[in-house]
Amino acid sequence: MSFIRSMIAASVFAAVVLSPSVASAAEEQLSIVPRWLPLVTGAVGLGIAVALLLEVIAFSKLAHGAAISGNISYVATGVVCLAASALVQWISNFLPSITVGQAVLASNLLVAASMALLILYFAGVRRKMKDYMRDMNRDGVSMRPDGGENRG
């Protein structure tokens, strides 16, 4: 039920932010942003995306063979999508053939793809954890919230 409430809240937020009055106010605000700021934030975003990708690769090597490593490629691909999203936004500053609208659309699609891939990964991990907990309970081991075990 919490997921449904989160989706409703996100939908209401998106509807408010995307309404014409808010959108036109946001465009007016963009005109006061210094030209160098999007370049710097884009470069920082790319750097963070590279660091995140390196962490995912290191994590996948560490977790090799574990239950959570089965679909780590979803996370890695999601991170690549996020990095590509930042790259599209950043490159649009240098290529006049790419309009702001095209860059925003491409970036939004890449972010959506990234979120879909992360959903696939976490749904798989949740399913495996649920199966593990069911098996533990069937074997008479009750997991306490603090991480300890109660043997029955």
Mean pLDDT of all residues in 64-78: 78
- Distance of alpha carbon 152 from alpha carbon 139, whole angstroms: 9
Q: Is the pTM of this model over 0.85?
A: no
Distance CA 144, CA 91 (A): 50
Q: What is the pLDDT of residue 136?
A: 83
pLDDT digits 0-9 by tens, 119-151 = 999 998 888 889 888 888 887 766 655 555 555
- Arithmetic mean of pLDDT, 74-81: 88
Which residues, at least 6 apart from 118, have a Cβ–Cβ distance to it below 8 Å? 74, 75, 78
Q: Name the token pair of 31.
A: 């005109």
Alpha-carbon Rg for the chain in angstroms: 21
Give the pLDDT score at 150: 55
Residue type, 50: V
Residue 36: its pLDDT value, please?
84
Rounded to whole angstroms, the Cα distance separating 61 from 77 reads 15
For 34, list phi and psi in degrees, rounded to 5.
-60, 150
What's the pLDDT score for residue 67?
Answer: 62
Do residues 118 and 74 touch, judged by C-beta distance below 8 A?
Answer: yes
26-30, 31-35, 62-66, 83-87 — which is least confidently predicted?
Answer: 26-30
Which structure tokens are listed for 22? 């808010």
Confidence band for 111, pLDDT divided at 50, 70 and 90: very high
Q: Which range, 15-24, 44-53, 74-83, 107-116, is most confident? A: 107-116
pLDDT at 45: 84
